[in-house]
Structure 1
Amino acid sequence: MRQRRGAQLGPLPAGSPRRQAGVALLALLTLLTLWGLYLVVAELNTTQFLLARKQATGTALAQARQALVGRAAGDNSRPGSLPCPAIDENGVAPNFVGIHCPTYVGRLPWRTLDVGELRDDAGQLLWYALAPALRDHPNAMPINFETVPELRLDGAPNVAAIIFAPGVPLAGQNGRPGNAVADYLDGSNSDGDNDFVSGPQSAAFNDTVLAVTRDDVFRVVNQRVLGEVRARANNASLPDHGLRGYQALNGSFPAADGDNDGLADAGVTAGRLPYRDLSFSVSVSTWLTANHWWRLLNYTQLSACLARIGIVGSTATMDVAGASPPCP
């Protein structure tokens, strides 16, 4: 008996419905794959864009803080002081009204600080709040390590200044461009008191905030004070060069002041700085005296060729080596 073979199917005709359906399915899968890749790339680009904008704001805030701290440390008559906030986009710290700033919340005085127009990711110039205790007026209270700035951020005290990136305008902030605080800063940041907040971010709050703390300021100011007391140069040999000048002229560092009269007391090795036995330039002596720094300076005579100075209440210290020769 002959065995029947199954019928063999040949290739489908080009125009058959089954072949057309397969081609359409392949095209659809390709299209979906490409669309998925597009969405992934678009999401990555959006994320990268947002991160770049956030980074731009952070960079501007950090540059502003660095400029303010540098300005505080380098002031010629009141180290630790800061300029008044600018009252407009020109970025110039305004003249005082009496002994006070015209405002203690305003634009960052970018021109006075010589930092250029620092802007956030929305293209807005930075804003700035200043603690009144640190204003740079010669008749204001002295500024030294004991000065307590009045600002608070999120309830934390001892804030010297606060820098704000205002971001895009929110509902009700219709006065831009302008100089009204409430058109740029949100919530309690625009109410005129000394308490400020950093968040939370919401539809009603988009300020980005960076604090300049008391420690930020006096960490560098203290070192400047100690440097002036030590000497103006590594190999000081003139009497207007603080401790190094004294040691170079006398062959030894002075004894310490044991009774707070500013004079060295024989046999006393640890106490206050005997500043009345030292010589300084007129400008340095003037601002150290006017800002009551002398009583805040600890001093230890470690040997004829080595002394140590520090700030009362601070961890800031500096070892002072004698001039060479005769010291090693």
Structure 2
Amino acid sequence: MSRPISRLGLLARLIGSVTILAIAVLAGIAIGETAIEPSIVLQTLANKLWTAGYGLDPIDEGIVWSYRLPRTLVAGACGAGLAICGLILQALLRNPLAEPYLLGISAGASTGAVLIAVIGVGGGLISLPVGAFAGAVVAFGLVAILARTSRGASASSQIILAGIAGSQLFNALTAYLITKSASAEQARGIMFWLLGNLSGVRWSSVWMAIPAVAIALLVCFWYRRALDAFTFGSDSAASLGIPVRQTRTVLIACAAFVTAIMVSIVGSIGFVGLVIPHAVRLLVGSRHTRLVPTSALVGALFLISADILSRILIKGQVLPIGVITALIGAPVFALLLIRGARVR
């Protein structure tokens, strides 16, 4: 059993985490197609936040404030949110392969977003995040029904297999909608977006992404003991007096909500919700009091780093961030699997 952490220790960890995150955000702003000195970044922030009055090039100031800062903040929020979603689903389903991408939630959110953007469902009355959330809920509902009616495997295996089928179905629906209804320019833009695209991120996206992650963190902290109990099974959770159905509904709705928000902003990004919780468990153990904040921090750092790489790997070209997360996430996940097999 781990010893309780003193208030001083908690404060030190909080300060350390904020410092690391601030350094990562500074790097995300300064590094890119055009390098910008950290001093210029800090002076721009001082001008915008406190009207410091530094004399700066308007182009540099615009790049920092209007483009790179919101992009970096959304990347961090998206990484934190997807890591939390993976953590929730892995605990509830007791399956290390559970994540929004694999369970069809991300694919369903993409289909819902494309229905709004291309087909115009709702006549302009339904926003992109609402469409994405509806698609995510429908996708997971379909996966849950399919898993419940299937036979011959454990519950967690059933839902993983159903999730794979659901992902393929909704990915096919998305491709069909794009092919049938989108113009060539729309199709090119949407396909790039579906691979994970932060190029169109502005401050309006920040005000969606950060509150969504804050809500997810609060929900996970509120249910942290329930998440600990679910890792031993729903029967164990029920024996401890936890309302299993209600708790599971709230947590899955939270995961679907966060996934939908992130997909509506940046498209589908895989491996974050799969790899980050695994890696963090090796660092801090399986108690969700530590897992939740550490997963959010590591997820944010991971996606900010991936965004930086997407801008500098190919000169004059920005890669979809989903390509970077797959190139990094797949080998890392393979190493985690090999390590787990050796430990057993």
TM tier relative to shorter chain = under 0.3
Higher Rg of the two aligned structures: 1
TM-score normalised per structure 1: 0.26
The structure whose residues are more often helix, as a share, is 2
The structure whose residues are more often strand, as a share, is 1
TM-score normalised per structure 2: 0.25
